[in-house]
Structure formats: structure tokens, C-alpha cells
Amino acid sequence: MTFHKLFAASLSCALMSSAALAADYTIGFSQVGSEGDWRPAFSKNMQDEAGKYGVDLKFANAQGKQEEQLRAVRAFIAQGVDAIIIAPVVVTGWEDVLEEAKDAEIPVFLVDRDVDVDDKSLYVTRISADFNLEGKLAGAWLAAESLGNCKIVEMQGTTGSAPAIERKSGFEAVIDQFPAMEIVATQSGDFTTEGGKKVMEAFIKSTNNLDGICAAFAHNDNMQLGAIQAMKEAGLKPGKDVLMVSVDYVPAIVDAMKAGDANASVELRSAVAEFIYPVITDYLESPKDLDKWIVIPSDLHKAE
């Protein structure tokens, strides 16, 4: 082969591989923030896996602020991305920006959390776990462990967020079936370790060292990990004096379960890019009506 032919062959090879590497779609992702252990793991999975699905992901971390999310979504619309993914901080306040995306003919996909809008045509689908079911799984486990007799303290997630609303309602739907099960104190710890610690410190004071309390239900593991710290500092034995059940099943709660400080956690999968990207890229290839909710399964894990 002459030098010219060799050069031409390697040039076309280089062009082919750069074409193969080029992303097929540019997608904007407005993420809630980086609270707790679960969310950063979810963000990393979405960022790490994007290339595999031909996606150039524009990632925007809203640091827990809805105004930041609205700004990011409007910036994605202005850039003319192919699709927008939103994990909404709270359920309300989305109509206007979703209308703007619709006017710009940019499809919106909800992941993880839900929005409360009357017009469901404003987004294509929500791809997420069933938070209500997670609350029910936690409640059913506790009903079985306590034989339906339990005074409970509850640490709620971010006020107005879908997981806080839905986990609470699922949990209550189960415990309401048992006359001797009751939530005696409830407060938001905003899904953070520090928030959970502060809330548990307040519960310890208001209940005279958790006197008569049989369980702590936290809407996520990080709040439960903060609660465990607070209880230990007060000389209490989490996982023994009080049953500890939460949601996420992050590595730190698995360690706490092994150490006997926590009893059960409902798994919220963080490696969910494999469920999300194919739905979006298939839709972009041939748009069609999808079910409004594509559910990712959740399971409860108990300490051995």
C-alpha cells in the first residue's frame, strides 16, 4: 500500500470512529442536588452511563433549590436540547416552565420525583420507583416486627417533595390498619444526616429519652444515620431499644445494619440509567404515547 493510500485509509478510519463516538442526542438533566448518599450515586450513574446510550448529557445540580431548576430548564430550552430530564425538588410550581418546553417542542421526562400538574401532556412519562409502595413496605415490616403495637417517631424528607408525601401516605395506609400503631412525633429532616440528627435530638427531648417509643421511621437512610448518632450520644441503643427502618439502602445503612444499629431499609436503586436512557432515546427515535409512569421495582432488606 502506498503512503497516500495508507494515509487515506487511516483518515477514513479516524473519521468513522469519531462519527461512531459522536453523541446522537443532547439531553439536559436538572438534578435536585447532592443531599445524602443516594443522590450523588444516582447523578454519577447518569453521567457515567450517558455515552453508552449516545447521549451528550448537560448536567445541572440545583443544590436543592427549585428556582435553580427552573433556571436550568429554561437554559436547556434556549440551547435547543433534544430532551430534558427533571428530577423535581418539589411537586408544585412546574406548569409554566413545562408549557415553555412544550411550546419549544422539547420533550420532558421526569425521573425519580413527581410533579403535581393537571395537564399530564406536559411531560412524556415519569421513570421512577413507587415511593408510596416503599412507605407501605416499611410499614408492613414494622407491623410484623411489633405485632401491630408500636409508637413511632417519623423523620420526613423535604417538605413538598414527592418521596416525603408518598412515603408518608404509604406508611400511614398500612399502620392505620392497626389500632395500636401510631406516629407520635413527626418532623422534616430534609433528607440530610444533620437534619435527621437534629430531629432525633428534638424527639429525644420531647419524649423523655424515647420513653415508650418502639420505632423510628425515616424517609431516607441519611436521616436515619443522623438519628443513630443522636441516639448513641444520648446513651440509647438504636436497633435494639428502638426499631429503625428507613429507605434507600445505601452502603452506610448496610454497615449500620451489620453493626446492629439499624434493622431494615427499603432499597431505592441508584443505578437506574439503564431504565431511563433507553426509554428516552427510543422516544426520540420514534415519538409515541408512553404510559405516564414507568415503575422501577423496590425491595425491603432486613438486618440478619
- Using the minimum distance from each CB to ligand AHR, give the nearer residue, 45 or 207: 45
Please identify which residue in 155, 218, 247, 264 interacts with ligand AHR, judged by CB under 6 A.
Answer: 247
Residue numbers 44-103 binding ligand AHR by CB under 6 A = none
Cβ of residue 159: shortest distance to ligand AHR, in angstroms? Answer: 13
3-state secondary structure at position 289: coil
Write each residue from 145 to 184 as x if it is in contact with ligand AHR (CB under 6 A), else as -, in one continuous string: ------------------x---------------------
Phi/psi for 292 (5° steps) reads: -75, -10
- Using the minimum distance from each CB to ligand AHR, give the nearer residue, 128 or 146: 128
Mention every residue, 6+ apart, whose C-beta is less than 8 A from residue 178. Answer: 143, 148, 149, 150
According to the binding rule CB under 6 A, does residue 135 interact with ligand AHR?
no
| Amino acid letter, 164 | A
Which helix (H) or strand (E) covers residue 301, if one does? strand 300-302
Question: Which has the closest alpha carbon to 178: 213, 151, 210?
Answer: 151
Cβ of residue 288: shortest distance to ligand AHR, in angstroms? Answer: 27
Residue 280 cell numbers, joined: 428516552
- The stretch among 34-42, 43-51, 94-102, 252-260 that binds ligand AHR (CB under 6 A) is 34-42
> Any idea what the Cα angle at residue 108 is, between residues 103 and 109, rounded to 5°?
165
Question: Which has the closest alpha carbon to 252: 228, 273, 233, 284?
Answer: 228
According to the binding rule CB under 6 A, does residue 39 interact with ligand AHR?
yes
According to the binding rule CB under 6 A, does residue 31 interact with ligand AHR?
no
According to the binding rule CB under 6 A, does residue 190 interact with ligand AHR?
no
User: Which residues, in sequence order, are bridge partners of residue 244?
Assistant: 216
Cβ of residue 115: shortest distance to ligand AHR, in angstroms? Answer: 13
- Using the minimum distance from each CB to ligand AHR, give the nearer residue, 113 or 151: 113
3-state secondary structure at position 22: coil
Residues that bind ligand AHR (CB under 6 A): 35-36, 38-39, 112-113, 163, 191, 220, 247-248, 268
